[in-house]
Amino acid sequence: MDAARDNPTDAMIEALLATYQDDSGANFIDVRNLPVRGRILQILDTFYELLFPGYSGSRVLTRQNLRYIIGDLICQVRCELSEQIRLALRHRCRLENCSTQGCEEMAAQVTEDLLGRLPAIRELLKGDVEAAYLGDPAARSFEEIVISYPCILAIATHRIAHELYLADIPLIPRLMSERAHSLTGIDIHPGARIGRHFFIDHGTGVVIGETCIIGDNVKIYQGVTLGALSFPRDERGRIVKGGKRHPTIENDVTIYAEATILGNITIGRGAIISGNAWVKESIPPGALVAPATAQSRFRSSKETSLNVEYYI
């Protein structure tokens, strides 16, 4: 009787170990410079407490203790996020065979910059909460929106992750955005640029790509995709990364449920994209876009100087 039959566990171990021999990025053996997912999620929770103090109920906040608790939370983030950013930077240095000597100083500076941006991020989020309240007739209070609306969790996460993306920090922004995706069903790439008073109603199934630019006072509904139409490839057939490939949504646009908008196109200011529309070309300001049926058409929503009609 052979060894595998004598001890099938040993055979399983050997077979699995054989798959670990090539370092193709699916294993991190002998690597101590990778950010820890669980720590990143804990840091996000601390950020939420800073941005929406008291909402979690984990601490009782009063006017008397607020300064001390906020100071404690800031110190936690400063220490923990700086370490995780350092690990992410060192991981990139390992992949690129570069020196890691400046990683600690860079991590500390990026952390300080993000902490310094928190008042501005909080002002943006106040506007997002207001947009949800004004845009949803079912909303009864700002508190209801902060505590229960998935879009606020997704947008708050994005506004933090976007700052780290702009600082060119690897891994961590995607860890943050994917956490929000898993909790809310809203998938916003941390590279997307999103303006003020942004509201995602219902939210499930929304996808917003990396190079999207979204203006102010934009409202979108569930199932909307702001995606890429096609991907350029190099001479070896590999996808060329980077470049603007997602839509630009100008101010005051409304996009209804299950609409799909693809490619580096522009949806003009004040346009309305109806549910289930499939859009692959730029849309002028003030237009109404609907799926092509005998009754629906693309026309000026105000019947102004556009004077054009297209089937979409």
**Whether residues 36 and 181 fall in one domain:** yes
Residue 303 is classified by DSSP as -
Query: Residue 121, Cα to own-chain centre: how many angstroms?
Result: 14
- When mean pLDDT is compared across 90-94, 95-99, 246-250, the lowest value belongs to 95-99
What is the value of pTM for the model shown? 0.87
Which residues constitute the domain of residue 281?
192-233+242-312
**Whether residues 178 and 86 fall in one domain:** yes
**Whether residues 67 and 213 fall in one domain:** no
Token pair of 245 as six digits: 């490939």
The residue among 181, 244, 241 whose CA lies nearest residue 213 is 244
Radius of gyration, alpha carbons of the chain = 24
Q: What is the tally of structural domains in the chain?
A: 2
165's CB contacts (< 8 A; 6+ apart) are: 173, 190, 191
Q: Is pLDDT at 4 greater than 80 in this prediction?
A: no
pLDDT value for 234: 76
**Whether residues 115 and 202 fall in one domain:** no
Q: Per residue in 32-66, pLDDT tens?
A: 678 999 999 999 999 999 999 988 878 888 989 99
**Whether residues 59 and 171 fall in one domain:** yes
C-alpha–C-alpha distance, residues 206 and 202, integer Å = 9
209's CB contacts (< 8 A; 6+ apart) are: 189, 192, 226, 227, 228, 245, 246
Measured on CA atoms in the order 271, 277, 283, 284, is the torsion positive or negative? negative
**Whether residues 52 and 67 fall in one domain:** yes
pLDDT value for 308: 37
Strands 287-289 and 299-300: what pairing? antiparallel
Q: Per residue in 230-247, pLDDT tens?
A: 777 777 878 777 889 999
Strands 260-262 and 278-279: what pairing? parallel
**Whether residues 197 and 261 fall in one domain:** yes
> Confidence class of residue 270 from pLDDT cuts 50, 70 and 90?
very high
Higher pLDDT, residue 300 or 109: 109
pLDDT value for 299: 53
Higher pLDDT, residue 311 or 104: 104
Asked if residue 199 belongs to a domain, the reply is yes
> Confidence class of residue 269 from pLDDT cuts 50, 70 and 90?
very high
pLDDT value for 23: 64
Q: Per residue in 137-152, pLDDT tens?
A: 999 999 999 999 999 9
Q: What is the CATH number of the domain that holds 253?
A: 2.160.10.10
Contact 244, 278 (CB under 8 A): no
C-alpha–C-alpha distance, residues 13 and 24, integer Å = 19
Q: Per residue in 199-219, pLDDT tens?
A: 999 999 999 999 999 999 999
Q: What average pLDDT does the chain have? A: 89
